[in-house]
Each structure stands twice: as C-alpha cells, then as structure tokens.
Amino acid sequence: MAPSETLVTIIAPPALDELCINTLRFLAVDMVQKANSGHPGLPMGSAAMAYALWDRSLSYNPRDPHWPDRDRFILSAGHGCALLYALLHVTGFDLPLEELKKFRQWGSRTPGHPEYGKTLGVEATTGPLGQGLANGVGMAIAEVALAARFNRPGHQIVDHFTYVLVSDGDLEEGISSEAGSIAGHEHLGKLIVLYADNHITIEGSTELTFTEDRMARFAAFGWHVQRVERSNDVETVALALKNAREERDRPSLIAVRTHIGFGSPHKQDTAAAHGEALGVEEVRLTKEGMDWPVSPSFHIPEDALEHFRRAVTRGSAAQVEWESRFKAFAKDYPDLAAEFHRVIGRHLPEGWDAELPSFTSADGPMATRVASGKMIEILGPRLPEMMGGSADLGPSTHTNIDGAGNFEPEDWAGRNMHFGIRENAMGAILNGMALHRGLIPYGGTFFVFSDYMRPPMRLAAMNALPVIYVFTHDSIGMGEDGPTHQPVEQLVGLRSIPGMVVLRPADANETVAAWRVAIGRKQGPVALVLTRQGLPVFDLNSYPAVPAGVPLGGYILADSPTIGRPDIILIATGSEVHLALEGREQLLAEGVHARVVSMPSTNLFASQSDDYREEILPADVPLLVIEAGSPIGWQSFVGPRIAVIGIDTFGSSAPGSVVMKHYGFTVENVCRQAHRVLDKPKEKVPCASESPQTMEGSF
C-alpha cells in the first residue's frame, strides 16, 4: 500500500466559497498591515483549507464556545493567528471587528499568538511550535478516555473530533515525532491534523533543512495520511476531511500543498510573506489582483458574512441535539450524568480528602516518592478523573494507580498512562488533557529531566492549567547516577516560572499535605519534588504544625527553645529539613537558639500576608538557608544577615549520603555557617557553597 493517497479534483471553488476564503485572507492581511506586525503568509495560504474545515467539518457553537462535546480546533502554528481571529469574528464568536483592528495591541483580545482564556474560541495558547500538535494528542486522549468512562450502549455523549492545523515548523520540532508516535500507537482515530505544506520557513525554502518524506514518517507512526495538491480546492480538502473522519483506527494527517502569501504578486512562495506586513503597495496589488476592494480595509462582503454566520444556527442545533441526547442519558444514568458535569466543571467530590493518612515515626524512614505513591493509590479510587503516568519511570516515580488498568487502544478506560521516554510530549499531552477538561492529569519523571519538558510546563503555567508533575530523585542525594542525573538548578528554574507552584516536602506527612494542595489547586500547575532516599517521618504529635503549615508554603516546624526572638532561623526544604533539625539541637548545645522553618514552597510562602511572613521570618533575625540546590533565588529573603548552604556546581557520582557530606550538608557545616552569620552581623556572608569545604569532591 502506498504510504499516502493523493487526492485531486478539478472542481473550481464556487464563487461564494471563494468570496468567503478571500474575506479571511484579506482580514488577516489588513490586521497585520494595520498592526505593522505579524504573519500574513500562513493565513493567506491556509485560508481555503481552514475554511473547508470550519465550513464543512468542524462542529462548534460560536454562542457557547465551551459546550463540552464540541470539536476542538488548535492552531498549532500560532504565529498565523490572524487567520483564527478572522474565523472567530466572521462565524459569530464574541470577537468584534474592533478587536481585529487592535491586533497585537495592548489590552486587545487579539494578541500576537493565541492565548487561552483571553479570546473565546481559542482552545489553547500556541506559538512555541510543535506544542499545539501535542496538545491535540492530549485532547484526543481525553476524548477517548471520557468516552470510555461515560458512554453507554445507545448513549454516545462524548463523541467529538480534535483538529489541529500545523506548519512545517510544527513538524520539524522533535515533539511532533514524540506526540505523533504516541498518537499512532494509541490509535487515536479522531485526531485529524491539517498540514500547511507550503515549503517555506523563515530562512527560506524547506529544501534547506526539511527534506524527509513527512507522509512516510507519519505513516510509519501508524497514521492515515493523505495529500491534497491544490490548496484552494475546497471540495477536495473537504473530501479528505471526510475520509479522515471515517478512518477511526488511525489518526490522520492531511498534507495540503499551500502557498505562503497566496495572491501576493511579489511575496507568494517566499519567506518575505512570513513575518512582516506585506506593505501598503503590495496589499494594494494583491487586492487588485484578486478583485478585492482596496479600501476600505477590513471589508467583509455581506454574502460572505451571511454564509459564515450560519455557523451560529448550525452550532446551536448541534448543541441542542447533544443536549437532548444528554437528557436521555441522564434519565437512564442520573448518577453518571451528574458525575460528568462534576468532572467537566472541575469540582472535587465531597469528602475526597477525608481521612487522608498520617504517618508516624515508626513508618520511617520513608522516601517522599514512596509517600507520594501511597497518596496516588489512595486518591486514585476517590478521584476517577485522575489519569497519568510517567515517562518510562513508573517503578521509580511511584505514579501507578493500582487496579486502574493501562490506557491503551484495547482499553481506553485504563487510567495508567505509559508516555514512553518522551518528556516534552508528555508535558504537552498533559496540557491538552487539562484543556479538554474532565480529567486531573499528572505525569512523572526524574526531576533532572523536567528540563526536557520545561516548554510545556511554562505553557501550563501560562494557561493556568491544573496539571500535576511528580518529580523524584530530587537532589544530589540521589547518589550514584552522578551529575547527569543530579538536579541542581532545576528548583530555582521551576520556581521562577510565573504561576508554577513548586512543593518539596520534607517527609511523608508533608507529602500528604502537598498532594492535598496539588489536587485542590484548580488554576495552575503544581510540581511535587520528591526524594529517592528514605527520610525520617515527623510524628504529628511532636510536629502538629505540618498539615496546616504546608499550604502556607513555609511554617515554624520547631521553634527556638526560648520564648521570644530566636538567635537564628534555619530555613530548609525537603530532605534538608532533617539536617536543620539536627543542627538546631547541636546549636542549642553551643548556646545558640535556633528556629527551624520548613519551607516546602517558596511560591506559596511568597503569596502569604506580610504579617504572616514577618511572624515566621522576623526581619532582624539572621537566616541560614539549607537546600541541596542552587542558592540563587533565596535572595528574595535577603538581608545583610543571610547565608545559604546550597550547591552552585554540578554533583558527583557516589552514594548519596557521601555526596551530601562532601557538599556541606552536615550538622557541623550547619553550625559553622550559623556561627559565621551570627559573628558577621553587618556584612553580607557569601553562600556557604562558595566556601572551599563545600566545593571539595565536586569534580
């Protein structure tokens, strides 16, 4: 069998179709020209195929963009967003023409790349190439998972398609292979990707960099592939879409030979059509050449608008039809219908966090990854919307939900996902699942490999998506694997992402509290940073502040033994909290009264009131920070009297406890540094990790 079918028809587009397509083209051209910024080329070349999709295939309701069973559309090539904004306006979404005229301007609903939450009808924030495609895979996974959970014989209440429009850049990015491979493996037949195969990227022809057979590549991933040679051939694109919808066993890629900057006499098929306005003169020539009025700009012919606006009646009818089907479903399965509304609305079930376990010192030592695994086992059955897994590290990350089955083509009801060694796609798929709604997605890997999924993590934060990351092997304390596997700079890196909450619990009970925070956070991602090595457990009888303290980010775990002001405050996170407690004992023997503040989340602590933060960290008390990570970032607590025992070199391969000792994570060094900061109250004390004793053994 040939890897791809080539579809050709000779039907010229009917006049109305052409009018509508040109309306989209010239709205995009005028938007970019008015802003004097943006990308006219892709919209001009892809308008016809986007029209074929929105006019003939896509099921959506402009008056209710959040209707749960709508088809999803993602413009992965987010730089071409003028096309999407034009579509949203003409089809009747709440995006007035005035907004199109404010393209890329401050405060507009038409930002330079589509932003989820800013513009109704935008299903995902896109722009970093490749991410939108993998988001689509996540949405298609969510669709089949929810269908498996909720559909019943005679009741198809979850039944929609996911469409993605990609460009060369999307398919060049490695994530497209990761995500494409997963989608093919999972037989996601309701995922349909339109590829604007225009042979041009920023630096020129794709002959420079991109010469493999893309069709063969996706066919090898297990996709159904089709090619349409003439981009303006609406009927053929519509036929290819129909074929793709009928192909339920394989995801579909439809490569359409488009022409960047279509119609522009001097810029069509050149990189010049890509990232800048056409220019006044070229706009004039293009409009004249295509029989379009040169002025006024933003011209929308009445016939075209009337045709586009039929989307409103069409969409309302589709939604009404679904609602009546849902009613019948609710009659037969009232509990399931209520459950569907609950998960789509991101409401947690009553009592989901009742009687969570509390561990005692007799349970220790216990690695926080193990405690996290126990929480996943407990929460999994209580929260059937929890679905996730790891990038081939399940036995290490403890991310499995016992008895919940594997998510695989034969069983899309399984909730344990196997992402394979594909962190970047895993992150973007989790985003797609969260964007779809109906699931609480989570994914795990070693903390150091969070670097491989930083791009989707950043987008999760930007989209305010409730995604949970389970990162284990969280410091040099993981030991023998050596510096390639020992995170140093990852903590500060993730903490610096706006909207990301990083939680590094110190023991099993803090881990329970951290999971409670993670599940309860409906807006924005949470990274749980967990140890490989066993840690003592804080008995809640001795440390009653733990459950209420963790959600505040930082709290007093053990106070100065004297009433009133401590001599010094030891701030620590994760495994180093135990060291701080030991240091406190030793300092007491030396006549120094220390308070220990456990700070599992600097992000959450920073969001507390000034009064609370002053209560925990009075401004005039010297601080010693102990954390097996980069010292950068703790400057937010900076005063003249602070020292940090941190790590500003890479790690080393040796048993974890030996590595920790060589890097200065010892009671002796805690006391030495505490005395330094106490003895030198006026001058800035350098990071302890810069001192020779903490450097030894690093190389």
Task: Examine residue 25 and tell whether it contacts ligand TPP (CB under 6 A).
Answer: no
- The encoded tokens of residue 91 equal 């089809």
Task: Examine residue 462 and tell whether it contacts ligand TPP (CB under 6 A).
Answer: no
Distance CA 120, CA 133 (A): 20
Identify which of residues 203 and 249 has a Cβ nearer to ligand TPP in the complex. 203
- Residue 327 beta carbon to ligand TPP: minimum distance, rounded to whole angstroms: 44
Do the Cβ atoms of 43 and 260 come closer than 8 Å? no
- Residue 83 beta carbon to ligand TPP: minimum distance, rounded to whole angstroms: 10
Catalytic pick among 423, 510, 576, 627? 423
Distance CA 228, CA 237 (A): 7
Q: Please give the residue whose beta carbon sits closest to ligand TPP in the complex.
A: 169
Identify which of residues 126 and 573 has a Cβ nearer to ligand TPP in the complex. 126
Range in contact with ligand TPP (rule: CB under 6 A) among 39-47, 323-331, 422-430, 574-582: 39-47
- Residue 201 beta carbon to ligand TPP: minimum distance, rounded to whole angstroms: 3
Range in contact with ligand TPP (rule: CB under 6 A) among 121-129, 150-158, 531-539, 551-559: 121-129
Do the Cβ atoms of 173 and 126 come closer than 8 Å? no
- Residue 114 beta carbon to ligand TPP: minimum distance, rounded to whole angstroms: 12
Looking at residues 632 to 661 of the shown chain, list those that interact with ligand TPP (rule: CB under 6 A). none
**Residue from 50, 122, 129, 142 binding ligand TPP (CB under 6 A):** 129
- Residue 170 beta carbon to ligand TPP: minimum distance, rounded to whole angstroms: 6
Distance CA 394, CA 488 (A): 23
Identify which of residues 212 and 679 has a Cβ nearer to ligand TPP in the complex. 212
**Residue from 18, 26, 27, 39 binding ligand TPP (CB under 6 A):** 39
- Residue 267 beta carbon to ligand TPP: minimum distance, rounded to whole angstroms: 12
Identify which of residues 39 and 102 has a Cβ nearer to ligand TPP in the complex. 39
Identify which of residues 198 and 397 has a Cβ nearer to ligand TPP in the complex. 198
Give residue 228's identity as a one-letter amino acid code: V
Number of residues that bind ligand TPP (CB under 6 A): 20
Identify which of residues 38 and 633 has a Cβ nearer to ligand TPP in the complex. 38
- Residue 210 beta carbon to ligand TPP: minimum distance, rounded to whole angstroms: 8
- Residue 293 beta carbon to ligand TPP: minimum distance, rounded to whole angstroms: 26
Distance CA 342, CA 336 (A): 10
Q: Where are the alpha helices (DSSP H) in 151-223?
A: 168-172, 174-185, 214-220
- Residue 124 beta carbon to ligand TPP: minimum distance, rounded to whole angstroms: 14
Q: How far is CA 687 from CA 64, 397, 693, in A?
A: 55, 32, 12
DSSP one-letter code for 69: T
Instruction: State which H helix or E strand residue 514 sits in.
Output: helix 508-520
Q: What would the DSSP string read from start to end of 312-348?
A: HHHHHHHHHHHHHHHHHHHHH-HHHHHHHHHHHTTPP
Looking at residues 494 to 533 of the shown chain, list those that interact with ligand TPP (rule: CB under 6 A). none
Task: Examine residue 485 and tell whether it contacts ligand TPP (CB under 6 A).
Answer: no
Distance CA 26, CA 100 (A): 12
Identify which of residues 77 and 645 has a Cβ nearer to ligand TPP in the complex. 77
- Residue 482 beta carbon to ligand TPP: minimum distance, rounded to whole angstroms: 30
Task: Examine residue 673 and tell whether it contacts ligand TPP (CB under 6 A).
Answer: no
Task: Examine residue 42 and tell whether it contacts ligand TPP (CB under 6 A).
Answer: yes
Do the Cβ atoms of 111 and 53 come closer than 8 Å? no
Range in contact with ligand TPP (rule: CB under 6 A) among 125-133, 332-340, 350-358, 394-402: 125-133
Question: What SS3 class is residue 564?
Answer: coil
Instruction: State which H helix or E strand residue 224 sits in.
Output: strand 224-228
- The encoded tokens of residue 538 equal 């804080």
Instruction: State which H helix or E strand residue 54 sits in.
Output: helix 41-56
Task: Examine residue 128 and tell whether it contacts ligand TPP (CB under 6 A).
Answer: yes
**Helix/strand/coil (H/E/C) assignment for every residue in 380-442:** HHHCCCEEEEECCCHHHHCCCCCCCCECECCECCCCEEECCCCHHHHHHHHHHHHHHCCCEEE
Range in contact with ligand TPP (rule: CB under 6 A) among 34-42, 157-165, 314-322, 439-447: 34-42
Range in contact with ligand TPP (rule: CB under 6 A) among 126-134, 498-506, 521-529, 659-667: 126-134
Q: First-to-last CA distance in the chain? A: 56
Q: Where are the alpha helices (DSSP H) in 521-623?
A: 546-549, 576-589, 602-606, 610-616
Identify which of residues 41 and 664 has a Cβ nearer to ligand TPP in the complex. 41
Looking at residues 66 to 95 of the shown chain, list those that interact with ligand TPP (rule: CB under 6 A). 77, 79-80
Task: Examine residue 274 and tell whether it contacts ligand TPP (CB under 6 A).
Answer: yes
- The encoded tokens of residue 273 equal 């059509």
Q: Which residues pair with 166 in a beta bridge?
A: 195
CA 171 from centre of chain: 19
Distance CA 301, CA 147 (A): 41
Range in contact with ligand TPP (rule: CB under 6 A) among 123-131, 309-317, 326-334, 498-506: 123-131
Q: How far is CA 576 from CA 261, 356, 590, 673, in A?
A: 58, 25, 21, 15
**Residue from 68, 114, 121, 127 binding ligand TPP (CB under 6 A):** 127
Identify which of residues 80 and 251 has a Cβ nearer to ligand TPP in the complex. 80
Opening angle at CA 513, ends 509 and 518, nearest 5: 140
Cα dihedral across residues 115, 117, 120, 125: positive or negative: positive
Identify which of residues 267 and 504 has a Cβ nearer to ligand TPP in the complex. 267
Looking at residues 148 to 207 of the shown chain, list those that interact with ligand TPP (rule: CB under 6 A). 167-169, 173, 196, 198, 200-202
Identify which of residues 199 and 284 has a Cβ nearer to ligand TPP in the complex. 199
Catalytic-residue membership of 115: no
Do the Cβ atoms of 325 and 156 come closer than 8 Å? yes
- Residue 33 beta carbon to ligand TPP: minimum distance, rounded to whole angstroms: 17
Range in contact with ligand TPP (rule: CB under 6 A) among 36-44, 55-63, 415-423, 544-552: 36-44
Identify which of residues 214 and 613 has a Cβ nearer to ligand TPP in the complex. 214
Range in contact with ligand TPP (rule: CB under 6 A) among 124-132, 148-156, 178-186, 553-561: 124-132
Residue found under tokens 């198809």: 156
Distance CA 169, CA 683 (A): 52
Annotated catalytic residues are: 423
Binding site for ligand TPP (CB under 6 A): 39, 41-42, 77, 79-80, 127-129, 167-169, 173, 196, 198, 200-202, 260, 274
